[in-house]
Chain A
Amino acid sequence: MKASHRIFGIIIAIAVTAGLIAFTFAYDWFGPLIAEESGNIDNVYRWLLVASIPFFVIIVGIIAFCILEFRADGDDDDRDGEPFHGSTRIEIVWTVIPTIIVVALGIYAWIVLDQVEAKQPNELTINVVGQQFAWNYEYPQLGVKTSGDLVVPKNRPLYFEMTSVDVIHSFYIPNARLKRDTADGFTTRLRFTPDTTGTFPIVCAELCGIGHTTMRGTLRVVEPSEFTKWVASRKGPNAPKPTGANTISPLSPTGETGK
């Protein structure tokens, strides 16, 4: 292979790396984000990709280079390769550099995790109870119980305390990038602050039996004034009683924001 070809190959590798990294930041991977804390989860994902892309390009590039440069001349080529057995220096390099990168990414992720899960002032507590195959909610500070639709005010930190009455479920809000299992005998916790009004899916992410597929609900984020009205309507004398039964909502597309 000519030197000019090698330079051309390196240019291609750099261009592919740059292109993939640009794509990482340009592409909408997750759909609309409705939790202000979780923006960093999307960033963690993007930085993980940025750290991984060079490795992938280098490995595939070297494989391609070896095939082009060192290929045997047909099956009858009985030459052997150059018999070197290793190089301590390069082995140290490819042990130490990945170690530094993964530890650095781990520390970054740790910081983000602490920030996502941090306790916040003025939290609205919501108790979530999973059952086969529906979610039930209670707002202990407001004295309201409901099931099916979960209605929350915009821009108020939410604090979920969750459990289950039967098998394990997993309370998953894709647009908040958050989920946590609910299990009988345990209380699990989740926090986020919705910053966009609209309706968003809530799905069960842990296989919970024959109706797992249909265990879906809706998160409705509304303006605080509308939320106050909604609470009042639930507390009036004509307030609907929570059924507690299986309330299957139709599959709602992700991210129908009401902005």
Chain B
Amino acid sequence: MAASLRSPGWYRAALWTAIGFVFAFALVVGIRAAADFGVVVQWDSIITVALVTMPIFFLYGIGCFDTWLYWISGRPTKPDDHSDHGAHSWKDYFKVNTDHKVIGIQYIVTTFFFFMIGGLFAMIFRAELLQPGMQFIDAQTFNGLFSAHAALMIFVFMVPVFAGIANYVLPLMLGAPDMAFPRLNALSFWFLPCAGIMFLASFLAPGGAFATGWTAYAPLSDQAPLGQTFFSMGVQFAGASSIATAINFLVTIITMRAPGMTFWRMPLLGWANFATSLLVVLATPFIAGSQFMILFDRALGMNFFDAAQGGDTVMYQHVFWFYSHPAVYIMVLPGFGIISEIISANARKPVFGYRMMAFSLLAIVVLGFAVWAHHMFVAPMQNWIRIPMMFTTMLIAVPTGVKIFSWLGTMWRGVIHLRTPMIWALGFMTMFVLGGISGVMLAVVPFDIAVSDTYFVVAHFHYVLFGGSLFTIFAGIYHWFPKMTGRMYNETLGKWHFWTTFIAFNATFAPQHLVGLEGMPRRVADYAEQFAAWNMFISISSFVLGASMLIFIYNMVYSWRSGPIAPANPWNAHTLEWQVSSPPPIFNFDDVPTVVGHPYEYGVPGARHGIFKEPEPVVAAVAGDSSTTSTDEGEPAPA
């Protein structure tokens, strides 16, 4: 027992989490006693400090810092033989592991756990909204549920699940043995459960969960009960996770591409994660800052947002949205990359306008930073700034449209295989166009003044994030499921999952446009009689939508256990991850591949993307090289 308390693992994690609490208690009580405060044991302060110490001590206990601490203290570190790579039983997924493939699966499973809870919260408050009047939860619980729903979905599902998929796929796609910083990668993952559990634990706080929405507008959040602190701190951990992963992706993409893989030979998923990671690194510090200011207001009385003390409530919104608008692109650009891979492989066609696809991603990154105030058209902001923000927001439709049209061009005269990932990709395109259209509408100031903060906005961002991002996540998970697990998913169940989700999704969110236009505000637990019929329809549809996820979970669990064995390359795709076994070898590539051409040269005679030394004689490699030179530059300079 003593040995297991000393070595990294769950026993030591539990012990150190408890020590973290004791430390916080002693620190606060000690300082208050030394400073002669009246009340020495002040629980709000103790818990606020414990929310910092307990996760950090937990991370030490589970083993995230061991190598670094050994190195810092001059003790011999474990030889870097990566002997702990790979997962040999399900238990290995509950340990700190530096293998990007293990971390990718840890990410995906953990984020889907929080996704299911977030969805359950939505179904609970939809049950409350089934009929007008207050039925079975009170206003505080209602506000807590929709706040936690959004916090879980955004911070511990949508943002990190893309990091999980990319974690698994990207190093393989780039021909790299792992991410650039494997230990940082492990730490990024373990931040996530800390954040998610903090959001959930807020329901146990006195005064209830944080109930100010995921936007946590000041000064409401300044005055909210203790649960708000759980949100402020949870965002810090989720944000730290995002930033660390983004740095890891950037360094991996810039430095660890296989020989011959220039940026213009990189698969678009690599481009998409490059663009996303730039956004994360530049923007995430702003939400961290906004929540620290709330925390300092609450814990230290700093009056950032107290107008009576010279504070400025609108500044909060500027800082918050300077992250939270780019966050929308953080939650969709990786999906664009996934869709490019899937449409190209399932339509057997080169991606139409590859370079414009990459440039449009970068255009969205740049424009994405110049639109944040469109969330504040009805806020007390200078009137003039609404006009430039309206134009930049509307112009984002242009690079986004380029992507949609290029996907259509990719399908044109292809040979289209309607497998489950492709169906999700096509579902994504139709739904995302609707979300994009309502997005352009909301950018238009006079119309936004009418429908801002109504259900029209709720409908819009669910079309973007559910019909858009989540559909790409499902597409990606089905597409790479054979690679990740070594087994095939069930096509029939996959299609059932798509159609039930697609229909229930539209039934849930399309009518929300209508009630929003008629003036039903968002975030209300009760509504006027005129909205009753649609709300009942929406609530019932949302239950069907929730139930449709069970098909997905069943398909994943069943297929992972006993699906048919997957071949190395079931889709006959060209990118590097499909050229190794399913699942890949522990170190990805027994031989480092050499990239000699574009990743999507379907139908181009003799074209190769990557070649491996062993199976291919050197002569063939040279031949492949020369045969691709014509196609190599043929596409990037379209005539």
Contact = CB atoms under 8 A, between A and B. Distances in A.
B416 A113 contact: no
A251 B394 contact: no
Contacts, number: 283
Interface in B398-428: 398, 401-402, 404-406, 408-409, 411-418, 426
B449 A41 contact: yes
Interface in A178-201: 178-188, 201
B395 A99 contact: yes
B350 A85 contact: yes
Given A80-B348, A86-B352, A72 B635 contact: no
A95 B415 contact: no
Interface in B357-415: 378-380, 383, 386-387, 390-391, 394-395, 397-398, 401-402, 404-406, 408-409, 411-415
B307 A81 contact: no
Contacts of B353: 85-87, 91
A62 B426 CA distance: 11
A207 B228 CA distance: 15
Nearest to B450: A177
Interface string A83-113: 1111110110011001100110110011011
A254 B634 contact: no
Interface in B210-236: 211-213, 215, 217, 219-220, 223
B401 A213 contact: no
Q: Which of B354, B414, B523, B634 has the most C-beta atoms of chain A within 10 angstroms of its own C-beta? A: B414
Contact of B444 (A44, A77, A180, A186): A44
Q: Which of B308, B390, B429, B517 has the most C-beta atoms of chain A within 10 angstroms of its own C-beta? A: B517
Interface residues of B, number: 95
A168 B220 contact: yes
Nearest to B637: A88
A85 B521 contact: no
B288 to A, nearest CB: 22
B440 interface: yes
B453 interface: yes
A66 B139 CA distance: 49
B524 A212 contact: yes
Contacts of A55: 401, 433, 437
A105 B390 CA distance: 10
A181 B446 contact: no
A79 interface: yes
B416 A70 contact: yes
A126 interface: no
A62 B412 CA distance: 9
B433 A59 contact: yes
A86 B307 CA distance: 56
Interface in B428-459: 429-430, 433-434, 437, 440-441, 444-447, 449-450, 452-454
B314 interface: yes
Contacts of A86: 352-356, 406, 409, 635, 638
B446 A67 contact: no
Given A41-B447, A56-B437, A82-B603, A209 B220 contact: yes
Contacts of B7: none
Contacts of A79: 348, 415
Interface string B604-636: 100000000000000000000000000000110
Contacts of B391: 102-103, 106
B151 to A, nearest CB: 14
B527 interface: yes
A174 B143 contact: no
Nearest to B430: A60
Interface in A8-34: 29-31
Given A31-B518, A70-B413, A70-B416, A59 B139 contact: no
Contacts of B143: 207, 209-210, 212
Contacts of B204: none
A13 B222 CA distance: 53
Q: Which 9 A-B pairs have the closest CB atoms?
A: A174-B519, A185-B307, A80-B603, A85-B635, A81-B414, A186-B380, A83-B603, A81-B349, A205-B453
18 contacts: A30-B450, A59-B429, A60-B433, A66-B414, A85-B635, A86-B352, A90-B409, A91-B353, A99-B395, A103-B394, A103-B395, A168-B219, A168-B379, A170-B378, A185-B312, A203-B519, A213-B525, A251-B527
Given A94-B402, A187-B380, 8 more contacts: A59-B408, A80-B602, A81-B348, A86-B409, A98-B401, A177-B449, A181-B379, A185-B308
